[in-house]
A and B are shown apart, each in its own frame.
Chain A
Amino acid sequence: MGLNRHHFFWLTLLGITLMLSSFSFQLYKAFDARWIIRFPKKYELPTEKWISAFLDWLVDSANFYFFTFRDITRAIASLIEWPYQFLRNLLIEGFQSGLGDQAVQYAPSLSWVAVITVVVAISYYASDWRLGTLTCACFAYLAVFGQWQSAMVTLASVLIAVPIGALGGLFLGIIAYKSRIVENCLRPILDLMQTVPVFAYLVPVLILFGFGPVAALVATVIYAMPPMVRVTIVALKTVPEEIKEAGKMVGCTDRQMMWKVLVPSASSSLMVGVNQVIMLTLNMVIIASMIGAGGLGFDVLASLRRLDIGGGIEAGLAIVVMAIALDRISQAFSVRTIKEPYNGNYIQRHPWISTSFAVIVGTLILGIFIPSVQAYPKEFTITTGPFWSDAMEYINVNFFDAFEAIKVFFLQSLLLPVKKFFVGIPWAWGIMATGLFAWKLAGWRMGIIAFLLMSFIAASGLWSKAMVTIYLCGVSVFIATIIGIPLGIWAAERQGAGRVILGLMDTLQTLPSFVYLIPVVMLFRVGDFSAMIAVVLYALAPAVRYAAFGLKEVPEHLVEAARMAGCTPIQLLLRVKLPLATPQLLLGLNQTIMLALSMLVITALVGTRDLGQEVYIALTKANAGQGIVAGFCVAFIAIIADRVVNASADKQKKRLGL
């Protein structure tokens, strides 16, 4: 294969970029032109200030004749406040009247036995005994290992945010399904919301709602709702045309059509959306502990800040356990098969409701006399904190040199050179190069969009931070891909290994992003290398999954034909299966990049100097403009990557005639 036009294009682009990157400093010195390496300050866009000023105006003086903006946020806050408080009372504090010392408790919270019974009952209703046992073990873990209180705080937040997010998403999705215009307006907003990093939500919400659980819940709902909107639109659209026609032919009104035909027919797809809402909610509730959500997330955050290794791991494991329980229950609902109804009277027909009710009342009464029924007895809790601390200490004492050596090796041979390359690119050429890159892979329209988006980043004075983001993301994605694709191949070729690997990936994906930071920080402390490891772990799953899926999707007759042509297994893989799986591999790459970018922002907590740090600083200073602008910059990078990779995947698909 000789050099063709395409190779020439890419080599030239890379060559020029390398040259400019290596010599930008010399150029600046030679021409005494500082603008080469730094966007001139006086031309920077004042977007930050505008946004901050706008928010200030909203909060302080926006007035819509009958009410102020403040009234709206207050109304929303109180709407969320009281059911949240009710749940907290129900699960944690018990119901009382009066304040402080005079408080009289007239009903205790649900006992731990009752909560576990209800959870098991729901699991059994959704699926079977196996799920019931699993969730029972998960919640028992929370009690036995002393995480109950915090876990219930987190659970209360989830229980508030999920219905709002799911119903709100369903509602918006239905409106978008009914009206083209609404759909076209919503689509770009949803795109943006899914790529704007989570921290960026927190800043404006913090300013509008103040520090505390309500603000955390608002941010959580905003974060968790978009996928439900999408799922709803798709689910309603994919209801078979004939079913819609059947609905019309029996004379359904519009409302009957929606609620008696479309929504029920789409219910299992809709439950997939609800599952996503639950998982995103949990993820966000943990992160939102930064603006006062409390619960398990707060425990992790506090431990990280104190460098309390044991405490962090304990709380982190509790999050994992809870994530697994919630995920499995909500997944079970989406594949739930309707069971034969029980016959008999009310109690016999609803054995689980009656059992739960009996246990709730029973433990309420028993709890008055035997405190350990009400709250899991303190003296029986097992704390693993010291164990983890000792283990980490042991590892650090005995293997410090090994870990340090690994870290130094990666830093010197990979991270630092790549960083130098990206940070060195002069902004003006960087904008051009991104435009050309996008034009070549995704057409001139995308080229122009990429050019404009990158220009915005430069003009916001965030160029070098953006380059650090791109470099860290690039390296992490690269490593995730070279680990992930072989794992995917292995999973596709060997059934047994496949089940284990894919199961592991499923679990990895259900874990809130925060959790990944804990072991990494313990072992490698802060810095780019730690960030990279956390990102790789978080972003690995899609690379594996899509690779496995792509290989399994290769049509059987092609595989047979190749075998009959005498291909060895290796040839079969390299010449037939992998080329045919490239579109799927590219989609996996796309997902990996998206996850990497969203995780990267969170790794600001372990001290990276990228856009994530910018957002994090904005959060600590409550500077909304700064946070939103930096958030948009991350979103823009994500959008460019997404469009370009998708366009390549489409091109490959066309070429392969799929």
Chain B
Amino acid sequence: MTVNVLLDCKNIWKLYGAKANSILDTHVNPDINTLKAEGIIGAVRAVNVQIMQGEIFVIMGLSGSGKSTLVRCLSRLVEPTTGSIKFDGVDLLKATDSELIEIRRKKMGMVFQQFALLPHLTTIENVAFPLDVQGVKKDVREARALDVIELVGLKGRENYYPRQLSGGQQQRVGIARSLVVEPDLWFLDEPFSALDPLIRREMQDEFIRLQNLLKKTIVFITHDFDEAIRLADRIAVMKDGEIEQIADPEQLVLNPATDYVAEFTRHVSRAKVIKAATIMSPIKKDHFGGEVAHDATIEEIADQVEGSKLPHKVMRDGQVIGQIDSSAVVNILVGRD
């Protein structure tokens, strides 16, 4: 399976402050202290990322670490100080205003932390708004909007105004709005952070369901590590504008690249990230209690494996690649190495 790079960013910097534009001429890779001394805020520093077609790429870090700024650079809502961004083969930073409008209209969608719904429009008008802007006729765009509203589970509330909806419902409208043009690349900036924990969980499930249907390429921002490992194919951990490490959730926990990442991942339940293939052993028996997928997390298979006296087969692409027994699972669950 070949994977295409949909968005390719090289050496992106975003600096704020009076001398923001000149500092990079005089310094190569200035570190955070040099910048501070010059009175510059390094919101994003020397970031390289490649977003693959069809993956969920999570950017995660504490508040103020530069996540929002980075994602706004990627969509060019914020002009990076320097760097290059290639989107689907097009140099995004060289795009003219009208090209940019065209790209955003057809190929990008974004969901915002505070929902950013237009207060004077109903649900259906909000969802149809991107099409309205493109000049699509009213009956066509509303028919399309209705489909998406149904998809996000808001049928029956088409004629409500945003303030008549709960937070979770408002964000569903935000999601529907960003999906109505069927974007290739979908940005979500802390979409569930403003919601109560229970609703947040429900919305994550909803999000996973949607993604299973739609298979979009997603850049998802969060400050919540649990959310990150639930959703991510790959995670980038940011600190002070820099990316500390990019890896899949399991690697992040098992092989943290820096102390900061290690500190971050220390309290994560390992059963949530470690996959069956990682702790399987070579096949020894021919009696098995059942089979599990190689990329299932320990948490997912714990009940099944533990409940059986016999080990389970670990499967990949229809092949048996190893076995896993209850003691290996229990070791992970109780945190024994």
Contacts and interface: CB of A to CB of B under 8 A. Distances in A.
A251 B113 contact: no
Interface stretch (A119-127, A259-267, A392-400): A259-267
Contacts of B108: 249
Contacts of A261: 118
A242 B121 CA distance: 16
A250 B116 contact: no
Contacts of B216: none
Contacts of A264: 118-121
Contact of A242 (B103, B112, B178): B112
A567 interface: no
A249 to B, nearest CB: 4
B118 A249 contact: no
B110 A267 contact: no
A265 B101 contact: no
A245 B77 contact: yes
Nearest to A267: B120
Contacts of A246: 110, 112, 116-118, 177
Contacts of A251: 101-106, 130, 133-134
A265 B119 CA distance: 6
A242 B174 CA distance: 12
B264 interface: no
A495 interface: no
B87 interface: no
Interface size bucket, B side? 20 to 34
Interface string B208-224: 00000000000000000
Contacts of A74: none
B207 interface: no
A246 B129 CA distance: 10
A245 B113 CA distance: 12
B72 interface: yes
Interface string A559-600: 000000000000000000000000000000000000000000
A243 B174 CA distance: 11
Contacts of B326: none
Contacts of B132: 260
A252 interface: yes
A249 B134 contact: no
Contacts of A248: 77, 104
Contact of B129 (A245, A250, A267): A250
Interface string A612-642: 0000000000000000000000000000000
Interface string A332-368: 0000001000000000000000000000000000000
B116 A240 contact: yes
Contact of B130 (A240, A250, A267): A250
A270 to B, nearest CB: 12
Q: Is the interface of A mostly helix, strand, loop or mixed?
A: helix
B92 to A, nearest CB: 14
Contacts of B102: 251
Given A250-B129, A256-B133, A338-B161, A245 B101 contact: no
B116 to A, nearest CB: 4
A253 B96 CA distance: 13
A240 B105 contact: no
Contact of A252 (B113, B133, B181): B133
Contacts of A250: 104-105, 129-130, 133, 177, 181
Nearest to B161: A338
B237 to A, nearest CB: 24
Interface in A217-272: 240, 242-243, 245-246, 248-253, 256, 260-261, 264-265, 267
B323 to A, nearest CB: 49
B114 A245 contact: no
Contacts of A265: 118-120
Interface in A265-308: 265, 267
A19 B168 CA distance: 72
Nearest to A263: B120
A253 to B, nearest CB: 6
B256 interface: no
Interface residues of A, number: 18
Interface in B65-82: 72, 75, 77
A338 B110 CA distance: 28
A488 B313 CA distance: 79
Interface string B116-143: 1111110000000110111000000000
Contacts of B119: 264-265
B241 interface: no
Contacts of A260: 129, 132-133
Listed residue (B104, B115, B119, B132) with the most chain A CB atoms within 10 angstroms of its CB:
B119
A243 B116 contact: yes
B42 interface: no
B298 to A, nearest CB: 38
B249 interface: no
A244 to B, nearest CB: 9
Nearest to B100: A251
B109 interface: yes
Nearest to A250: B130
B77 A249 contact: yes
Contacts of A267: 120
B161 A245 contact: no
A250 to B, nearest CB: 4
Contacts of A249: 75, 77, 104, 108-110, 178, 187
Contacts of A245: 72, 77, 110, 112, 116
A185 B106 CA distance: 40
A563 B110 CA distance: 50
A338 B121 CA distance: 10
B125 to A, nearest CB: 11
Interface in B319-335: none
A334 to B, nearest CB: 13
A41 B130 CA distance: 70
B109 A240 contact: no
A242 B104 contact: no
In the complex, which of the residues A248, A250, A261, A264 has the most CB atoms of chain B within 10 Å of its own CB atom?
A: A250
A235 to B, nearest CB: 13
A246 B72 CA distance: 11
A250 B118 CA distance: 12
Most chain B beta carbons < 10 A, residue from A251, A253, A265, A338: A251
Interface in B152-183: 161, 177-178, 181
A243 B118 contact: yes
A227 B58 CA distance: 47
Nearest to B181: A250
Contacts of A240: 114, 116
B112 to A, nearest CB: 4
A613 B295 CA distance: 89
A180 to B, nearest CB: 17
B123 to A, nearest CB: 13
A375 B119 CA distance: 44
A248 B105 CA distance: 9
A470 to B, nearest CB: 43
Nearest to A251: B105
Contacts of B104: 248-251
Contacts of A256: 133
12 contacts: A242-B115, A245-B112, A246-B118, A249-B75, A249-B109, A250-B105, A250-B130, A250-B177, A252-B133, A264-B119, A264-B121, A265-B119
5 nearest interchain CB pairs?
A: A251-B105, A250-B130, A242-B116, A246-B116, A251-B104
Given A240-B116, A250-B105, A253-B101, 18 more contacts: A242-B114, A242-B115, A243-B116, A245-B72, A245-B112, A246-B118, A249-B108, A249-B178, A251-B103, A251-B105, A251-B106, A251-B133, A251-B134, A260-B132, A264-B119, A264-B120, A265-B118, A265-B120
